[in-house]
Amino acid sequence: MSTNSIKASSTFFDRFNNQDIVKFSLTNQNNVTVSAISLGATLYEFSIPTNTGRTNLVLNYPNSGDYLANPFYVSMGIGRTGGRIKDGQLPLNGQTYQLQTNEGTTTLHGGPNGFNTQVWDGEIVEEDGEPTIQFHHTQLSSEDGFPGDIDVTIIYRLTNDNTLKLTFEATALNEDTVFNPTYHTYFNLGDNDTILKHNLQVNAEQHLEFDDKKLPTGNFLSVENTPFDFRQTTSLGNAIQNMQNTPEKGFDDIFKINDDAINNTIATLQDPETNRSVSITSDRNGLVVFTANSFTKEDMNFSRTNGIGIPYEGVALEAQNLPDATRFDNFGDIIIKAGETKVHEIDYHVEF
Ligand code: FUC
């Protein structure tokens, strides 16, 4: 007889590029379900029971093909490196590696063959008496152009206090390389089509200055007296309103997490209408906030909005190290030495 308090299952999801895509699910004692599909190790569902049924707090699509039909990485696993690398040129150990590019001259989110494009080997693995979802993939240098091959495991653990713990483990198999994965999770906690009524709090005194390609210049800007000031719980709708004079008409920005918040709560998103919230814990110094300003009606087959995309439909909160970190001395360490293993964790704690 099983004594697990977390229930696990796996089912066929669909066929994509001649491969079976599998969906794995975990459900806790409060009837909270987390599921993931093997394409991109994507977070597919983080659903809670409600008075009328269930609500999924993350954006998703019905088919695997929908995920790569647009450039928005909807709730997908991102790696080797989240964010942009200037000119696709990775400085490492005094050398420069030319990577594959996928946004003009820039390498974005691991490039055109990044983690999100891979079909991961998934399985339910019991750990400490509870099931977990574990995705495994060996990312080859010959595949994505980064130096060295890495063995990567992404683990989903769900607790009975409604926390999803995402762990990334990477071992550099043969050369020094870089590892700065994230999840491109778009939350919409409410019952509306947009997040404009949500509140956001971010433990960041500073955000990054960009050039005109959204590449970091290396300068840190104070959030004080700007729409970037989320130190106190702030209306996201008002903040977005105050960004209407920017090309993005919203946020697509990188916050530098305060030192004392690292390994603790870095940000909290809440929907006052439904009283639902998610708090994010991370062991790294960056958070991208992307308010889905440029979502398009076409090519975004969202389940939530019946097959169309809507600007501000969700907010992507991408916990990671500051991007392009080997270019700047003070951005943090994303290097894995040959033979070494590095582990990172992002936790989402929901309340409802
Ligand atoms: C974020 C942004 C990018 C891009 C992507 C889908 O990471 O920084 O601009 O639009 O999301």
- 252: annotated binding-site residue? yes
pLDDT in tens, 251-298: 999 999 999 999 999 999 999 999 999 999 999 999 999 999 999 999
Residue 123 annotated to the active site: no
Average pLDDT over residues 323-347: 98
Range 7-185+336-351 classified under CATH 2.70.98.10: yes
pTM: 0.97
Q: Measuring from atom 8 of ligand 1, which residue has the nearest CA?
A: 252
- State residue 2's pLDDT score: 57
Instruction: Tell me the best of 59, 78, 109, 255 to mutate to test the pocket of ligand 1, counting ligand atoms within 8 Å of each CB and taking the most.
Output: 109
Amino acid at residue number 325: A
For ligand 1, residues with CB inside 6 Å are 71-73, 214, 252, 288, 290, 316, 318
Instruction: Tell me the best of 249, 290, 293, 295 to mutate to test the pocket of ligand 1, counting ligand atoms within 8 Å of each CB and taking the most.
Output: 290
Residue among 45, 130, 175, 184 flagged as catalytic: 184
Are 7-185+336-351 and 187-326 the same fold in CATH? yes
Second CATH level (architecture) for the domain 187-326: Distorted Sandwich (2.70)
Q: Give yes or no for a contact between 335 and 177, defined as CB atoms under 8 angstroms apart.
A: yes
pLDDT of residue 1 exceeding 80: no
pLDDT of residue 124 exceeding 90: yes
Residue 318 annotated to the active site: yes
- Domain chopping of the chain, boundaries: 7-185+336-351, 187-326
CA torsion 322→323→325→329, rounded to 10°?
Answer: -50
pLDDT band for position 71 (50/70/90)? very high
- State residue 3's pLDDT score: 72
Q: How far is CA 143 from CA 80, 138, 170, 264, 284, in A?
A: 12, 10, 16, 35, 27
pLDDT of residue 30 exceeding 70: yes
HSE toward the beta carbon, residue 50, CA cutoff 13 A: 14
Report the distance separating Cα 248 and Cα 59, nearest Å: 21
Computed over every residue of the chain, the mean pLDDT equals 97
Average pLDDT over residues 210-230: 98
Residue among 109, 169, 318, 344 flagged as catalytic: 318
Average pLDDT over residues 235-257: 98
pLDDT of residue 169 exceeding 80: yes
pLDDT of residue 351 exceeding 70: yes
- 97: annotated binding-site residue? no
Q: Measuring from atom 10 of ligand 1, which residue has the nearest CA?
A: 72
